[in-house]
Structure 1
Amino acid sequence: MKDMLQQYKNILVPVDGSYEAELAFKKAVAVANRNEASLHLVHVVDTRAFQNISSFDTTMVEQVTDTAKKTLDKYIEEAKSNGISNVDYSIEYGAPKSIIANDLPKDLNIDLIMIGATGLNAVERLLIGSVTEYVTRTAVCDVLVVRTDLENKPAKKPEV
């Protein structure tokens, strides 16, 4: 009899430096291990955030990109030390919602997006809409929203 277990092959994890994204990454490593899947990390630099700055210069984008690279390199190391051999990342520029929900899943043949629950409050969600909410509604593949820590307890941000 054929093995009927659903297996994910390509997992996408958007990371933005937040605690929620880090939890999604850690859980994605475990899921990728169980499924022998490849892991794709992405950081999207929301270029619209820079459009309102009158003295728009590339150094700001470069700074954001450098910070993202450092975070992503750290995650790659962590994934590899946890047994994930097939792991990579990309830094994209544009509107995070459509890049995460549509563009990358199609380009990379993604079958699961694991995304952190965003910390936007109700008013912010009303005004700008949460990326996570958009992705869960419109993604072309399965989406798992990570709301809990590695023990599946409600995630609490570490006290600073």
Structure 2
Amino acid sequence: MLQQYKHILVAIDGSYEAELAFRKAVEVAKRNHGELFLIHVVDTRAFQNVSSFDSAMVEQVTDTAKKTMEQYVATAKKNGLDDVSYAIEYGAPKVIIAKDVPKEHDVDLIMIGATGLNAVERLLIGSVTEYVTRTAVCDVLVVRTDLDNKPALNQTGKKANIQPD
């Protein structure tokens, strides 16, 4: 019997790589007759350095994330996937994506972009993708290519085109 992934998690962080992971995850979910669960994690560490922290800032970040996630859900449905939902979580993205959400939602595949960080950010705070691939409780597919399976970044460092909806 072929492996079928029924509960697919995609980490959405606003990066180009996450967009590619989402696009491919929609197709994987359709082929497997599975459900797609999108997660956006608001990294609370970002607010620790803000001296005049107030709830309005959190509300603004949450509202923006909610609008973005609703657009992703609409895109997935427009592309023929009915079983799609999302959550916005707060905390450390690494643990939430690799362990917490997969256990809560019986995830059997995490699809994640190769990286949403530049080299300096990866060095300083570590790559979420690297942590997820090492510690996840299920299979992980790291998306490095566009929808035509060509490198996501061309040789000049420019992003490959994402096909329209």
TM-score class, shorter-chain normalisation, is over 0.9
Output the CA distance in 1 between the equivalents of 2:11 and 2:119: 22
Residue of structure 2 in register with 1:150 after alignment: 147
Residue of structure 2 in register with 1:13 after alignment: 10
Q: Cα distance, 1:119 vs. partner? A: 4.2
TM-score by length of 1: 0.93
Equivalent residue pairs, number: 156
Output the CA distance in 2 between the equivalents of 1:140 and 1:69: 27
Residue of structure 1 in register with 2:20 after alignment: 23
User: Is the CA contact 1:32–1:84 (under 8 Å) kept in the aligned structure 2?
Assistant: yes
Aligned 1:1-160 pairs, distance under 5 A: 4-156=1-153, 157=159
Output the CA distance in 2 between the equivalents of 1:19 and 1:120: 10
User: Which moves more between the two structures, 113-122 or 77-86?
Assistant: 113-122
Q: Secondary structure at the match of 1:83?
A: coil
Output the CA distance in 2 between the equivalents of 1:78 and 1:51: 34
Q: Secondary structure at the match of 1:91?
A: strand
Gaps of at least 5 residues in structure 1 are: none
Write out per-residue CA displacement over residues 96-145 of structure 1, whole angstroms, 9 at most, x where no aligned residue. 00000000000000000000111434443222110000000000000000
Q: Secondary structure at the match of 1:43?
A: strand
Q: 1:49 to 1:37 in 2, by over 3 A?
A: same
Output the CA distance in 2 between the equivalents of 1:122 and 1:77: 33
Q: 1:119 to 1:103 in 2, by over 3 A?
A: closer
User: Is the CA contact 2:16–2:116 (under 8 Å) kept in the aligned structure 1?
Assistant: no
Output the CA distance in 1 between the equivalents of 2:101 and 2:149: 28
Q: 1:119 to 1:87 in 2, by over 3 A?
A: closer
Q: Cα distance, 1:81 vs. partner? A: 1.2
User: Is the CA contact 1:20–1:146 (under 8 Å) kept in the aligned structure 2?
Assistant: yes
Output the CA distance in 2 between the equivalents of 1:17 and 1:122: 17
User: Is the CA contact 1:16–1:68 (under 8 Å) kept in the aligned structure 2?
Assistant: no
Superposed CA RMSD: 1.3
